Structure 1
Amino acid sequence: MTTVLLKGVRKDYGSFTAISHIDLDIASGELVALLGPSGCGKTTTLRMIAGLEIPTSGQICFDGKDVSEVPVQNRNVGMVFQRYALFPHMSVEKNILFGLKVRGTDRAEAEDRLEQILDVVQLQDFRHRFPAQLSGGQMQRVAIARTLITNPSVLMMDEPLANLDTKLRGEMRRFIRNLQQRLGITTIFVTHDQIEAMELADRVAVIFNGNLAQFDEPDALYKHPKSVEVADFMGATNVFAAQIKDKTATLDFGVLTFDAPSQNGTRSVMLRSEAIDLHLDEPSDAQNVFRGTIATRDFFGANITYGVSCGRETVQVTEQSRRVIDVGQDVWLTIAPERIWVIQETD
């Protein structure tokens, strides 16, 4: 298991700056997701860690040793790409063994490793099949096995599930997470999918425009974003300007009290749609009560999201679809003080 440290890493391509400044400290055995929109620099960051790109400035260290200019073949890293890149004329076991064959690994040792890795990725029954005879998930497991059999110190995955359908992506996320925890290998996973990052990672690094916006555990990232941009990217639908004073937030549609400490002044307040409770009758003993009218209703199977008009604002409220409230119905909304988050950006 290996620690990975990025310190002040920058990458320029001529006059274009792909990465402005990235600091990351990845613990041994940790799975970290690099998350961000297309073109933000997450794949460039991964390629620099792998040794496929050399940083313009800054340091990349494995276990405290600077490897910034060490070529990829000397870093002992494994890479799984979005495209499986399997050899169509080779069986599953020959595809998996390819890396060891190139390295000149002893045949007996290679066969031992093959049996172990086939068990790990659950492909024993498919060892003699060819890629054309496999499903997308099975091909991805072959690609992962081909990487793992070389015993890399760091496993890197560049959007490996992007070509799979929704159901299979969910299954492969669970497979990758269980596999990573079983092996305890330091893993860096690139994705633009927030759900994928939240489900897979121990910590998530959100990257915008070549800069690290936030590096945090999934729960903290979701509930306590450090900026409006991060909140928006993580799916927050209710972010409102408010005047903060002594743990009260004055919004356009009411005054809310909250628990977390905050600086006074103009701030952005986040109210998660699933954190708001919706009532048909006015609550008599709740905190933070405000009135509105159902303006929109969107059905998402297990959940319904209502757009509730409150003054000049529309508040999104998500609840399980055990009831259906008509558009035009007057309602009351409540939110617990501990579920209100004031985003601590400076003026």
Structure 2
Amino acid sequence: MTQVQLKQIAKSYSGTIALSECDLSIQSGELVALLGPSGCGKTTTLRMIAGLETPTSGQILFDGKEVSDVAVQSRNVGLVFQRYALFPHMTVEKNIAFGLKVRGQTAAQITEAVDEMLDVVQLRAFRDRFPAQLSGGQMQRVAIARTLITEPDVLMMDEPLANLDTKLRGEMRRFIRQLQRRLGITTIFVTHDQVEAMELADRVAVMADGKILQFDPPDILYQRPNTPAVAEFMGATNLFAATLKRDGLAESALGTLHYDPAAAAIEGQGHILLRAEAFDLHLTPPVDSENTFTAKILTREYFGAATRYTLLCNDVQLTVQEHSRRRIDEGTLAYLTIKPEHIWVLQQS
């Protein structure tokens, strides 16, 4: 297991900044996701850690030892890409064995290692098949096995599930997470998919415009984003500018809200975040609730386990989601409540 550190890493191409003096510390055995839209710098970061790109400035360290100028073949890293890049004329067994064969291991050593790896990725029954005879998920498992069999210190994956359908992506996320926990290998996973990052990672680095905006566990990113940009990227729907007061009052277009000042002692201009699932939706006026608003249901969307409503409240549209068997008709007058501890306030960015 290897600790990976980036210290003031920057990368420019012909004067264009791709990455701007980023710091990142990844613990041994941790799975970290680099999350952000196209062009944010996440793949550039991955390629510099791997040794495929050279930083313009800054340091990359493995277990405290600088590797910024060390060639990719000397870093002992494993790379899994979006394209499986399997050899079509080789069987599953020979594809997996390729890296060990290149390294000059004996036939006996290769056979033993391949047998073990086929069990790890649950493909023993497919060892004699060719890539064209496999599903997308099976091909990705072969690609992962081919990388893992060389025993890399750090495993890096660049959008490895992008070519899979929704159901298979879910299955592969669970497979990768279980495999990573079993092996305990330090893993860096690049994705633009928030759900993928939330489900897979121990911590997530949200990136935009060549910068790391926030680096935290998924629950902290979701519940307590540190900027409106992070909140929006993590799927926030009810995000409003507000005037914040230290006594726990927030004045916004929605009205006056009471929040928990102990959670965030901020004063001045900022934002309030009201998660869609944090609201309680009532059909009769609630009693003794600090934050109560009258609203009209504009739309209703059914998602099986949940129903999402769009409501108009004080000329502001709100999104509310509830897990309930009831279906409230559009046009219904309703009442919304939200507890002070469920309101997150953000400093003006």
- Name the TM-score, length of structure 1 as normaliser: 0.98
Partner of 1:9: 9
- The whole-number CA distance in structure 1 between the counterparts of 2:346 and 2:267 is 12
Partner of 2:279: 276
- The whole-number CA distance in structure 1 between the counterparts of 2:293 and 2:314 is 10
Partner of 2:321: 318
Unaligned runs of 5+ in 1: none
- The whole-number CA distance in structure 1 between the counterparts of 2:22 and 2:126 is 42
Would you say the 8 A contact 1:81–1:160 is kept in 2?
yes
Would you say the 8 A contact 1:21–1:212 is kept in 2?
no
- The whole-number CA distance in structure 2 between the counterparts of 1:105 and 1:66 is 29
Partner of 2:113: 113
Residue 8 of structure 1: SS of its match in structure 2?
strand
- The whole-number CA distance in structure 1 between the counterparts of 2:43 and 2:243 is 39
Aligned residue type for 1:257 = H
Partner of 1:198: 198
Shift of 1:304: 1.8
Partner of 1:253: 254
Residue 144 of structure 1: SS of its match in structure 2?
helix
Render the CA deviation track for 1:119-149: whole Å, top value 9, x for unaligned.
1000100000100110100000000000000
Partner of 2:160: 160
Most deviating of 97-106 and 166-175? 97-106
Render the CA deviation track for 1:282-340: whole Å, top value 9, x for unaligned.
11133311111112222223222111111121111011251111221111101111110
Would you say the 8 A contact 1:295–1:308 is kept in 2?
yes
Aligned residue type for 2:323 = Q
Render the CA deviation track for 1:191-240: whole Å, top value 9, x for unaligned.
00000000000000011010011000000000000111110010000001
Shift of 1:107: 2.1
Would you say the 8 A contact 2:269–2:347 is kept in 1?
no
Residue 328 of structure 1: SS of its match in structure 2?
coil
Residue 226 of structure 1: SS of its match in structure 2?
coil
Would you say the 8 A contact 2:113–2:149 is kept in 1?
yes
Fraction of identical pairs, as percent:
66
- Does 1:127 pair with 2:127? yes
Most deviating of 48-57 and 16-25? 16-25
The size of the alignment, in residue pairs, is: 346
Shift of 1:98: 0.4
Would you say the 8 A contact 2:93–2:114 is kept in 1?
yes
Would you say the 8 A contact 1:95–1:142 is kept in 2?
yes
- The whole-number CA distance in structure 2 between the counterparts of 1:249 and 1:58 is 42
- The whole-number CA distance in structure 1 between the counterparts of 2:333 and 2:244 is 28
- The whole-number CA distance in structure 2 between the counterparts of 1:261 and 1:204 is 22
Unaligned runs of 5+ in 2: none
Would you say the 8 A contact 1:292–1:308 is kept in 2?
yes
Would you say the 8 A contact 1:226–1:345 is kept in 2?
no
**Which of 280, 296, 300 matches 1:297?**
300
- The whole-number CA distance in structure 2 between the counterparts of 1:124 and 1:254 is 62
Partner of 1:265: 268
- The whole-number CA distance in structure 1 between the counterparts of 2:323 and 2:223 is 20
Partner of 2:236: 236
- The whole-number CA distance in structure 2 between the counterparts of 1:144 and 1:113 is 14
Residue 174 of structure 2: SS of its match in structure 1?
helix
- Does 1:75 pair with 2:78? no
- The whole-number CA distance in structure 2 between the counterparts of 1:87 and 1:78 is 17
Most deviating of 330-339 and 245-254? 245-254
Most deviating of 221-230 and 255-264? 255-264
Partner of 2:288: 285
Partner of 2:52: 52
- Name the TM-score, length of structure 2 as normaliser: 0.97
- The whole-number CA distance in structure 1 between the counterparts of 2:98 and 2:344 is 51
- Does 1:225 pair with 2:228? no
Please, what is the CA RMSD of the aligned residues? 1.0
Partner of 1:61: 61
- The whole-number CA distance in structure 2 between the counterparts of 1:252 and 1:11 is 41
Partner of 1:32: 32
Render the CA deviation track for 1:90-111: whole Å, top value 9, x for unaligned.
0000000001111112222221
- The whole-number CA distance in structure 2 between the counterparts of 1:256 and 1:14 is 49
Most deviating of 305-314 and 134-143? 305-314
